[in-house]
Each structure stands twice: as structure tokens, then as C-alpha cells.
Amino acid sequence: MPTNINGKKVLMFVDNIYEDLELWYPKLRLEEAGATVVLAGPKAGVTYMGKHGYPAVSEAAIADINGDDFIGVICAGGFAPDKLRRDARVKSLVAHFAGKGQLVAAICHGGWIPISAGAYWGVRVTGSPGIKDDLENAGCIWVDAPAVVDRHFVSSRKPDDLPAFCKGVLQVLTR
């Protein structure tokens, strides 16, 4: 079990219609590894519902997040990323992590967030085939694989790829 992430904080964004497994699987896996995972939504203390009906309560408001308190960010998929990527603070946080060489991880439609943050130019990534054109138009190098690790960027296609995705996330966080 990795020990150099014990007590470190990882940020995850949440909003309505997030992909349930893509939020909860990484959150629980990282907590098992000793990290603290903070769910940040548009408002703190609000219950956001996943695509499949699983609730997630935001522990913080996105506007109140200080990027320096975290070692990286994970962007779950679903329909929530399409709304979250319009938030200037979400984009600035993702750009902050990318610029510092810290974890920027996205699965499925979560890749929309780093695209909108301008963080993906020249990065090898994968994601939902539904956003392949968006990724390529943002300057990404598309790879069709369960998970892709390019420096501090980790990406994956769908819930079935979560084991490979989390392995990549832990690989980056434990370097």
C-alpha cells in the first residue's frame, strides 16, 4: 500500500448527474491508500445526485478551494463535467495542478474539464469515444486504451477501465 500519500489531499469535483462509479471508485481507492479526498461542488454541504441515483455531499465549495492544499485533481465523468467546465474557478484549479506538474486525472467525459482549462495541449490521452473529437481539437494525442499515463496526466475511457485508471492515478501520486 502506498505510504507517501498518507494524509495528502486530492480534489474531486461533483455536481448533479456525475457518473456514480467514476466518482466513488477513485475516491474510495485513494482513501484506502491513505489520502484524503475532498468533494468540491458549486456549493458546500449540498447533496448532488449521480446519473444512477447515488448521492454525494460536497464537502467544500469550489470557490473556496486553495489548489496549494492538494496534490492533484480527479475529474469524474457523466454529464456534470459539461457544466463544471464553464466555471472559471474549476478551470483555474485544473490549470494550477497542470502547471505545477501535479496529478490531473480524467475519466470518460471528465476530459472536458482539462480541455476547457487549456491543460491538454500535446498530452497523450484517452476518454469516452464521444469526446474523441473534442480531445483531438484541443491538441491532444488520442490513444484508445483502458488508461493512459503521460507525465502527471492520467486518463481513462469508461467505468470498466476504473482498475487501470486508479492504478495510473496511484502511479503518479506515489512517484
Catalytic residue IDs? 109
- With cell 475529474, the residue in question is 75
Would you tell me how many other CB atoms lie within 10 Å of the CB of residue 26?
A: 24
- In the chain, DSSP finds a helix count (H) and a strand count (E) of 6, 11
Task: Tell me the DSSP string of 117-172.
Answer: TT--TT-EE---GGGHHHHHHTT-EE--SSEEEETTEEEESSGGGHHHHHHHHHHH
Pairwise CA distance, residues 125 & 131, whole Å: 11
